[in-house]
């Protein structure tokens, strides 16, 4: 089975200071799951050029696809486009097709130097449509550079989907176990995991008004493998 | 001014699959800010032993403090304690003081092999109290290993605070600008940022029912520097 992977770089001091709660990672994960792409790692980076560039380069090599969010607006701390260009040793300049997108929204008189920063695109990149505020994202090699504002980021994914060559899709089942904690099932579950190496088994405890409970989530590419694993789990639970 | 930094490692496949929305990073950031500790980077890691160990080692060298969340429960995919031990080349074994904590909650008969996993602690680590579910976290060198469940993670921070030697605290001011976007202010703000190198200036656009707006947030260690920077921004905004 081919496994297709993605790495995600969430860029912005505000995500590290506690000011802003990231939600883009979950949105990207939910977008990728039905395409058969698994996120292998995500990093939340400060607005520091060298660190961003180094991470873009590293993730581009480690993963099939890379997503960056944030830092493509018009202000001095919006440096992601320059960092992506630097990561690949590419030039970056103001591109007319990106300016044309901006002109759909702004009067030419309002298209000041700051806003024109949003039309600076790494050499050879292809634009990613932004139907919300028009300043485009872009694709450079296997790296998709998207906005940080969640509504805009989500909208840009629409123009990413057709560029993804997905993988096999894992099926998933959830077995709810009320009134037991992870400690009750941890030992046998570990044994079952060893006996079903192609099934990924996770357990997720919850608290609610009635006490503790557990969701056991099993994932595999083949539903026959899920059948066997689920049977083993239900057998153990009924003992 | 001394800057004290922290790195955060959020551990768990469920954070990368879209199943779970992390909130621990924001909680840790809000806990650290009044102590004068800034988070420099955060990473969200899959449950893979070698990757977790390598990241613990790297972050322990890069940052003054490291926080890990997740992976210290009783199931087969709870491998963080082993990974922290491996990162520092330490042994790991079941410790009586950790067992004693568990016995406050569990009958000896219920303290099965899986639950006893939660008493496996790297050599020389000091325990971090868990007043919610009693299975302790632990500190190894400059690394704090905490639970992933947000309520438990938050409670454990109470027993971390006295271990942190904090730094200078940045003051912060927010200048709200209704009806302007980042593109209207990006150029002048960049100039102001250059003229006030000790002030960190961020701008955070928002949408609401009335359209666009902007919060300009300035941070500095010295309030006199904030005064000058705020005056420069307000002067430009009133022009």
Residues of B in contact with A113 (CB under 8 A): 186-187
Query: Looking at residues B53-80, what average pLDDT do you find?
Result: 96
Alpha-carbon span B220 to B204, nearest angstrom: 17
Question: Tens digits of per-residue pLDDT, B200-228?
Answer: 998 887 777 777 788 899 999 999 999 99
Q: What's the pTM? A: 0.91
Grouped pLDDT means (10 residues each) for chain A, 239 residues:
89 94 97 95 97 98 98 92 98 96 91 93 96 91 96 95 92 90 88 93 79 88 95 93
Neighbours of B182 (CB within 10 A): 23
Q: Which of B45, B76, B134 to mutate to test the interface with A (most CBs of A within 10 A)?
A: B76
Domains of chain A with CATH codes: 4-163 (3.40.980.10), 171-238 (3.30.70.600)
The alpha carbon of residue A43 is apart from the nearest alpha carbon of chain B, in Å, by: 4
pLDDT score, position A206:
77
Alpha-carbon span B22 to B5, nearest angstrom: 21
> Are B39 and A17 inside 8 Å of each other by CB?
yes
How far from A218 is each of A73, A94, B64, B108, B214, CA to CA, in Å?
41, 48, 38, 31, 44
* Contacting residues for A117 by C-beta, under 8 A, at least 6 apart: A74, A78, B186
DSSP readout, B88-120?
A: TT--EEE-HHHHHHHHTTS-GGG--HHHHGGGE
Of the partner residues A40, A44, A184, the one whose CB lies closest to the CB of residue B46? A40
Answer yes or no: is pLDDT of B1 > 60.
Answer: no
Size of interface A-B (CB pairs under 8 A): 173
pLDDT score, position A2:
67
Helix residue spans in chain B (DSSP H)? 13-16, 24-32, 49-62, 80-87, 96-103, 113-116, 150-157, 182-195, 223-238
Q: Which of A4, A17, A152, A175 to mutate to test the interface with B (most CBs of B within 10 A)?
A: A17
Chain B residue with minimum CA distance to A43: B43
Question: Tens digits of per-residue pLDDT, B13-65?
Answer: 999 999 999 999 999 999 999 999 999 999 999 999 999 999 999 999 999 99
Query: Looking at residues B124-138, what average pLDDT do you find?
Result: 93
The alpha carbon of residue B23 is apart from the nearest alpha carbon of chain A, in Å, by: 7
The one-character DSSP state at B168 is P
Neighbours of A61 (CB within 10 A): 10
Sign of torsion over alpha carbons A12, A41, B65, B157: positive
Alpha-carbon span A236 to A189, nearest angstrom: 9
Alpha-carbon span A39 to A28, nearest angstrom: 9
∠ CA B164-B169-B170, nearest 5°, is: 140
Alpha-carbon span A13 to A77, nearest angstrom: 9
User: What's CA B76's distance to the chain center, in Å?
Assistant: 25
């Amino acid at each position: 089975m081919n496994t297709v992977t993605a790495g995600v770089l969430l860029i912005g001091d505000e995500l590290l200071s506690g000011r802003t709660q990231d939600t883009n990672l979950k949105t990207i994960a939910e977008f990728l799951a039905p395409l058969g792409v698994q996120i292998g790692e995500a990093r939340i980076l400060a607005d520091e050029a060298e660190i961003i560039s180094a991470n873009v380069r590293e993730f581009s090599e480690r993963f099939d696809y890379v997503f960056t969010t944030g830092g493509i607006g018009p202000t001095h701390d919006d440096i992601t486009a320059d960092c992506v260009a630097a990561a690949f040793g590419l030039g970056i300049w103001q591109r007319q097709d990106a300016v044309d997108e901006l002109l759909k929204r702004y009067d030419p008189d309002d298209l000041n130097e700051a806003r024109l920063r949003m039309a600076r695109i790494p050499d050879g990149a292809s634009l990613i449509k932004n139907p919300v505020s028009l300043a485009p994202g872009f694709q450079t090699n296997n790296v998709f550079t998207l906005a940080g504002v969640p509504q805009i980021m989500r909208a840009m994914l629409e123009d990413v989907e057709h560029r993804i060559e997905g993988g096999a899709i894992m099926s998933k089942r959830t077995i709810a176990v009320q009134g037991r904690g992870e400690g009750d099932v941890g030992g046998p579950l570990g044994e079952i995991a060893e006996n079903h190496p192609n099934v990924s088994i996770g357990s997720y405890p919850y608290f609610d008004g009635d006490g503790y409970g557990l969701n056991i989530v099993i994932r595999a590419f083949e539903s026959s493998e899920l059948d066997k694993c689920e049977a083993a789990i239900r057998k153990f639970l009924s003992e």
